Amino acid sequence: MRRITTIGAATAAVAAGTALILVAGPSSAGTRATTAQSGVAAIQAATAQAAETAQAIGLAGDEKLTVRSVISDVDGSQFVRYDRTYKGLPVVGGDLIVHRSGKVVRGVTKNVDKIAVASITPKITAAAAGAKAAKAVKLVREQAPQSDLVIYAQPGKQPRLAHDVTVKGVQADKVPSELHLFVDAITGAELGRNEHVKTGTGNGIYTGSVTIGTQAHTGGGYELKDAVGNYATDVKNQGDPNTGQGPDGTLFLDSDDKWGTGSNSDRASAAVDAQYGAEKTFDYYKNILGRNGIWNDGRGARSRVHFADGMENAFWDGTQMSYGDGANNAAPLTELDVAGHEMSHGVTENTANLNYSGDAGGLNEATSDIFGTAVEFYANNANDVPDYLIGEEINLNGNGTPLRYMDDPSKDGRSDKCWTTSTGGKDPHLSSGPLNHWFYMVSEGSGAKTINGVSYNSPTCGGAPAVTGIGRDKAEKIWYRTLSTKLTSGSTYKAARDGAINSAKELYGASSAECKGVAAAFTAIAVPAGTAACDGGTDPTPTPTPTPTPTPGGQLLKNAGFESGAVNWTGTSGPINQDTRRPAHSGSWKLWLGGNGSSATETESQTVTIPSTATSAKLTYWIRTDTAESGSTTYDTMKVQVVSGTTTSTLKTYSNVGTNATYTQVTHDLTAYKGKSITLKFTMSEDQSLQTSFVVDDTAITVS
């Protein structure tokens, strides 16, 4: 029996505080993923073309590409993200994105061009580099440094042979540190730093009375774990903040499914906050942006509460959240903003993997502020009214003021509100200011405005014209597309401007108000115009490889192969998924109806208009079926239907009788519907026992 354990349908970004690390993989057994961007088949195909791609984009023979992820767009094109090596050594900052349609390269985004160094034989030993790093880094209880030989390549600088020295210890607030310090392997000079553990702050128990996901516990009672695997454990103030290591903790259990009292005296109260934050963050990314959780594979995450003794912080370590209890273990740091911000760092590390220094560091922190804010608006909790203030409830400043202001970041007395050439030299929490400012203006516009009872007044920089907002929802989608398909580890504010404009063009059109609003807001934070522009812009000229594959025409359905998840289709949450227990016909996504083994009805539909000038129109799709039923009685059915006005016509009915587990292509003539708007609908009905699965993929409505 297969259980449907999904929540929602598509996803985006979060709120206010820190970072994480994510790797996409197959969906966990028993979970039907509804959104994702890459799969094993797509990565394998891109890997097979890696050498050809390297040659096509002009890399030298010593440079090799390794596929990190593949994002398939609704038009069939793909954004393939690569890491790079040079003579077998990893290139830090060598990551790049290739936008391709078949074998036609439509564009390349990269931090640095060709890589070359005089020698890959170091003059400075790893031991000497480690000693230098240990002396330069001031951490409590340091561990022995570890070193790897790399090529260090950053925008505008000559690539250098370097030692990547990892120094682990604990910061002053008892949060773990894993600092990468890059030492020139020829001269011994320090080239740069990058902190792996990003942290956030919070103070107390904020969510109030909320609904959270729980399930029956074996042996009786309930456990604090939802359907996708978000769950909370009590570490009982154990754990080592020096390393982030500690026990998994004890799963929270309860006899009556009523958790916590809202007071710190009940240890489950902090767990409720943590679980609520994890669930809202997961749901936001899935239902708004189409990303199936942090790892994009449908998995939830563990939240360890009551971590360590008196830790005044919270952190994401790449696999889980850990929340300290604050000073004297009196104020757990489980605020919603913390969860949203921290887990969004994880999304960043599994997409653009932005550095934590230079312009990229500011973009990194602002991205978590942006999506943390987005999660706050998505949750719309009366106890934490959504706003454009960061950390407004934790009172870390001691005077009731927030940590950061998105409408005018300079109001904190430290952050930049306008981009300058010196912005990248500041702490990422301060250099995040210009992008936070951009997000507020592109969402709400410049000038004075009151939202949810909070007064804002957002100025433009350098006398730039006033900005008209396009709406927060659109701004979130544009920035997520920029993060996932346009930015690389060393991206700058100028690259962010180009990437966001191109993302707006792709989502809403080159002449759209959305594109113009994005450009105007970047101008208003003093980021100069680059290569991208609205009203046509300057998209890269396609560079064909030796055997380009043309994109087929005449297709009316959007996301016809489901590779963008639940986007463009309307219906039941869950059937469009990457679950590996039923294969896709191509790619990794498909429409899997049924397979529940219990009473269920599922539908997915999409509306198109068949031109009146069409001489022919046809529907095609690939389908495979399997069942646990037996005999010749029909119990489970799936109908392929066309709805025109008030009339529903069934083109074909499939059932548990006569199933075929081999994909077969089916064609239906739709010419009779030319000049009409019709809805293609797949409808499944399953009885109370014994599953039947109807798996559909690679649909098309083509006209000529």
Mean pLDDT to the nearest integer, 662-673:
93
DSSP class of residue 425 equals G
Mean pLDDT (whole number) for 663-691? 93
**pTM for the complete prediction?**
0.65
What kind and span of H or E run contains 600? Answer: strand 600-609
pLDDT value for 288: 92
| SS3 state of residue 38 | coil
- Average confidence (pLDDT) over 646-650: 94
Q: Are 8 and 573 in contact (CB under 8 A)?
A: yes
- Report how many helices (DSSP H) and strands (DSSP E) the chain contains, helices first: 11, 33
Secondary structure (3-state) at 535? coil
State the CB neighbour count (10 A cutoff) for residue 523.
Answer: 19
Rounded mean pLDDT of the chain?
85
Q: Quick: pLDDT tens for 531-552.
A: 999 985 443 333 333 333 333 3
pLDDT tens by residue, 199-238: 433 223 667 888 898 988 888 999 999 989 999 999 999 9
pLDDT at position 541 is 32
Q: How far apart are CA 153 and CA 146, in angstroms?
A: 20
Q: Alpha-carbon distance 215 to 193, whole Å?
A: 44
CB 429 within 8 A of CB 404: yes
Q: How many C-beta atoms lie closer than 10 Å to residue 629's C-beta?
A: 18
Average pLDDT over residues 175-204: 74
Helix (H, G, I), strand (E, B) or coil at 648: strand
* % of the chain at pLDDT higher than 70: 88
Radius of gyration of the chain (CA): 26
Give the DSSP H or E segment for 696.
strand 692-703
Q: Which two tokens stand for residue 675?
A: 């000049």
Can you name the residues that pair with 405 across neighbouring β-strands?
Answer: 389
- The pLDDT tens digits of the residues spanning 444-460 come to 999 999 999 999 999 99
Phi, psi (rounded to 5 degrees) for 315: -150, 155
Give 501-530 pLDDT, tens digit per residue: 999 999 999 999 999 999 999 999 999 999
| Span 421-429, average pLDDT | 91
Looking at residue 225, the DSSP 8-state letter turns out to be: B
Burial label, 85 (beta-carbon count in 10 A; 0-12, 13-18, 19+)? middle
Q: How far apart are CA 495 and CA 501, in angstroms?
A: 10
**Residue-level pLDDT at 19:** 25
| 509 contact partners, CB below 8 Å, separation of at least 6 | 515
Biggest alpha carbon–alpha carbon distance for the chain:
79
Answer yes or no: are the C-beta atoms of 480 and 374 closer than 8 Å: no
At 14 the pLDDT is: 24
Residue 363 in 3-state DSSP?
A: helix
Which pLDDT belongs to residue 330?
Answer: 85
What is the reported pLDDT for 33?
28
C-beta of residue 34 within 8 angstroms of C-beta of residue 6: yes
- Average pLDDT value for residue range 267-290: 92
Active-site amino acid positions = 342, 429
DSSP-assigned beta bridge partners for residue 316: 321
pLDDT at 386: 94
CB half-sphere exposure, 101, CA atoms < 13 A: 14
Residue closest to 243 by CA, chosen among 337, 325, 126, 144: 144
> What integer pLDDT is reported at residue 581 of this predicted model?
79
